């Protein structure tokens, strides 16, 4: 047995409660586990709660089919936007569906604009389906496109969707059923990776999406602490959007609008945000590691921008309530920003303070622990949640890479947070041109 293992095992067996034992354990077992494990267990309990409640769920639906306006933000999707429009037009839903593709920068994106226009005949011949293509000749960014689309939307329910995302044909029926409860302000839809077979990084992202979206959001939603309404697939009650003034300028509009809705929860207590793992969408993920890390630089940096610059006042029980405050502090600030920095510092400390051979064995122990944890949770979540178990189980050969992938993304997350804090990285975003982000007061 390697020397580090002999040291740890002997200390635990000989004096399990001594201060020396705890010193050894805290040195060689990453203390970030104490931040992570409560979140993992909370998610697991939430998934179990959701599964038990679903067993008693009524299979039929009462006669409530509100009109729906789908705001589809388009930029450079080209012919792919047809798949998105077609998947919305052919929904199994007896209510009205208004499809509004907003082509941002239509002057430069003529192919996308033409592709969207070419779908008019196909959509209009379907009963209770409308298509209205909106060209924004001057590019203004995603938020500008969404707010422009709101001027043409008349649906009681408004969906915020990406132009490169397609949907199961029962998505609208699944997502809108929640709004029969007048307290439901928004529903976060579920996303899978559509191009998961394309490369190694898309396969790893497919597993990551299954954990971080389908599983984690199901667990958090069961306790009423959903962390984010996906920008690629968000569903809102129109009256709530009007109450908060639509989307706000800048980047990370999905977390921004989530926090702005939550700001009413603590004060009035009348709004709820839920996640529906059965309302399914499919999006294309970056298919190279270069594009993946470029995307995560924006995603992780935007978290720091919102938490430290724009929404620091939201860390208040008066605004968002006690339950959401604890969730925002733990699953948001600590889990997504502080922990990546701690992991980098802890790893650097190991290499500085201890011999290389010793450090490598410790890292192997950590890897084995995370691999076992990932595998066990994956099987549990596939069993309880997956609507495509065959597809998910085909990902098992790539599970051994997930601890390494997660470590790499967390290290990069620490860099992204630093880049935002010291370099104001949110201003360098493909979500909006520089002249838009420059005008933001943040």
Q: Is the pTM of this model over 0.85?
A: yes
CB 85, CB 105: distance < 8 Å:
no
Has residue 302 been placed in a domain? no
Q: φ and ψ at 282, to 5 degrees?
A: -130, 125
Give the pair of three-digit tokens for residue 239. Answer: 């009256």
DSSP string, 103-130: EETTTT-HHHHHHHHTTHHHHHTSTTEE
Has residue 38 been placed in a domain? no
- Mapped onto helix, strand or coil, the DSSP state of residue 9 is helix
Lowest mean pLDDT among 96-100, 270-274, 366-370, 431-435: 431-435
Q: Which regions of 226-324 does DSSP assign to beta strands (E)?
A: 233-237, 272-283
Has residue 396 been placed in a domain? no
Which is more confidently placed, 211 or 347? 211
pLDDT at 18: 56
Q: φ and ψ at 98, to 5 degrees?
A: -105, 120
- Mapped onto helix, strand or coil, the DSSP state of residue 189 is strand
Q: Which regions of 286-396 does DSSP assign to beta strands (E)?
A: none
Has residue 255 been placed in a domain? yes
Q: List pLDDT tens digits, range 51-77.
A: 888 765 655 567 889 999 999 999 888
Lowest mean pLDDT among 122-131, 166-175, 308-317: 308-317
| Whether the predicted pLDDT of 283 surpasses 90 | yes
Looking at the structure of the chain, the number of domains it has is 1
Which is more confidently placed, 203 or 329? 203
CB 132, CB 70: distance < 8 Å:
no
Give the pair of three-digit tokens for residue 140. Answer: 């203004």
Has residue 118 been placed in a domain? yes
* Burial class (CB within 10 angstroms; exposed 0-12, middle 13-18, buried 19+) of 95: middle
Residue 435's contacts (CB-CB under 8 Å, 6 or more residues apart) are: none
- Mapped onto helix, strand or coil, the DSSP state of residue 320 is helix
Give the pair of three-digit tokens for residue 423. Answer: 């370099």
Q: List pLDDT tens digits, range 213-259.
A: 999 999 999 999 998 999 889 999 999 999 988 998 667 788 899 99
Domain carrying residue 89: 68-286
- Whichever domain contains 241, its CATH number is 3.90.550.10
> Does an H or E element contain 379, and which?
helix 356-385
pLDDT band with cut points at 50, 70 and 90 for residue 199: very high
> Does an H or E element contain 134, and which?
strand 134-136
Q: At CA 234, angle to CA 230 and CA 240, rounded to 5?
A: 125
Has residue 77 been placed in a domain? yes
Please compute the mean of the pLDDT values over residues 129-151 and round it to a whole number: 92
Q: φ and ψ at 361, to 5 degrees?
A: -70, -35
* Residue 275 to residue 182: CA distance in whole angstroms: 16
Has residue 207 been placed in a domain? yes
Has residue 380 been placed in a domain? no
Q: List pLDDT tens digits, range 170-184.
A: 999 999 999 999 999
pLDDT at 393: 95
* Residue 78 to residue 290: CA distance in whole angstroms: 22
Which is more confidently placed, 428 or 259? 259
Give the pair of three-digit tokens for residue 179. Answer: 């709004």
- Mapped onto helix, strand or coil, the DSSP state of residue 165 is strand
* Residue 245 to residue 248: CA distance in whole angstroms: 8
């Amino acid at each position: 047995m390697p020397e580090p293992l002999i040291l740890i095992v002997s200390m635990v067996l000989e004096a399990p409660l001594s201060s020396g034992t705890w010193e050894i354990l805290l040195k060689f077992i990453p203390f970030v586990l104490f931040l992570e494990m409560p979140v993992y267990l909370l998610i697991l309990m939430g998934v179990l709660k959701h599964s038990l409640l679903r067993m008693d769920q009524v299979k039929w639906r009462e006669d409530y089919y509100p009109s729906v306006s789908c705001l589809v933000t388009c930029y450079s999707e080209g012919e792919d936007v047809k798949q998105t429009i077609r998947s919305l037009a052919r929904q199994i839903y007896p209510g009205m569906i208004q499809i509004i593709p907003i082509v941002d920068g239509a002057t430069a994106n003529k192919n996308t604009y033409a592709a969207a226009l070419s779908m008019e005949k196909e959509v209009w011949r379907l009963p209770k389906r409308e298509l209205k293509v909106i060209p924004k000749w001057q590019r203004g960014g995603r938020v500008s496109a969404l707010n422009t689309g709101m001027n043409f939307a008349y649906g009681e329910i408004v969906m915020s969707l990406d132009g490169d995302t397609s949907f199961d044909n029962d998505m609208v029926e699944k997502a809108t059923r929640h709004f029969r409860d007048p307290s439901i302000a928004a529903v976060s839809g579920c996303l899978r990776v559509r191009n998961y077979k394309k490369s190694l990084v898309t396969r790893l992202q497919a597993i990551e999406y299954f954990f971080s979206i389908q599983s984690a959001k199901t667990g958090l939603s069961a306790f009423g602490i959903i962390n984010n309404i996906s920008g690629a697939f968000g569903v809102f009650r129109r009256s709530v959007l009007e109450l908060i003034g639509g989307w706000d300028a800048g980047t990370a509009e999905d977390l921004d609008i989530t926090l702005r809705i939550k700001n009413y929860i603590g004060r009035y207590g009348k709004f709820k945000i839920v996640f529906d793992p059965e309302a399914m969408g499919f999006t294309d993920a970056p298919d190279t590691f270069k594009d993946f890390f470029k995307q995560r630089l924006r995603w992780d940096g935007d978290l720091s921008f919102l938490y430290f610059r724009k929404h620091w006042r939201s860390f208040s029980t008066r605004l968002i309530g006690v339950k959401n405050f604890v969730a925002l502090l733990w699953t948001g600030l600590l889990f997504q920003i502080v922990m990546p920095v701690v992991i980098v510092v802890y790893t650097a400390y190991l290499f500085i303070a201890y011999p290389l051979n010793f450090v490598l064995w410790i890292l192997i122990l950590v890897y084995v622990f995370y691999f076992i944890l990932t595998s066990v949770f994956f099987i549990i979540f596939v069993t309880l949640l997956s609507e495509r178990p065959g597809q998910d189980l085909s990902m098992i050969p790539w599970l051994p890479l997930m601890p390494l992938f997660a470590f790499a993304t967390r290290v990069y997350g620490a860099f992204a947070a630093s880049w935002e804090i010291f370099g104001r990285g949110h201003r360098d975003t493909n979500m909006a041109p520089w002249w838009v982000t420059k005008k933001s007061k943040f």
